[in-house]
Amino acid sequence: MKSKHHWPARAFTIRNVGDAPCEIVTKGRDRWALEALIAAGPKGCTPYRNPAAPRWAAYVHNLRGLGVAIDTITEAHGGPFAGHHARYVLACNVTAGREAFDHSAGTGGMKGGAL
């Protein structure tokens, strides 16, 4: 089944406190997660409230590997399957840039990288 949404490579400028700005390129679900974090602002995102992305931890791990500062806040939840879940909040300023040329088009291998 083919997805309705296409998340091609896009450049983002990352400004972590105390570091010089850097550019990264990300695509697919990693790009989707980064854009969701940007849109959520200080309230952040949680898989508990947004189960459309079952692999939030993986997307956050990939983004952190590219240099994006993301805080994890552990929250308790009740219900029949009470426990804990993570809330992810950007801890840096991120600005979306242009659609980027994907050198790995067709290979599915690009997760991100310097521009």
Domains of the chain, by residue range, sit at: 10-100
Higher-scoring residue by pLDDT: 55, 67:
67
pTM: 0.78
Q: What are phi and psi of 40, to 5 degrees?
A: -70, -25
The string of pLDDT tens digits covering residues 5-51 is: 678 999 999 999 999 999 999 999 999 999 999 999 999 998 766 66
CB 14 within 8 A of CB 21: yes
Q: What would the two tokens of residue 23 be?
A: 């550019």
Query: In whole numbers, what is the pLDDT of the chain averaged over residues?
Result: 83
Which amino acid type is present at position 88? Answer: Y
Q: What would the two tokens of residue 21 be?
A: 């700005």
CB 87 within 8 A of CB 45: yes
User: Where do we find the tokens 């991120």?
Assistant: 94
Q: Is the pLDDT at 105 greater than 70, yes or no? A: no
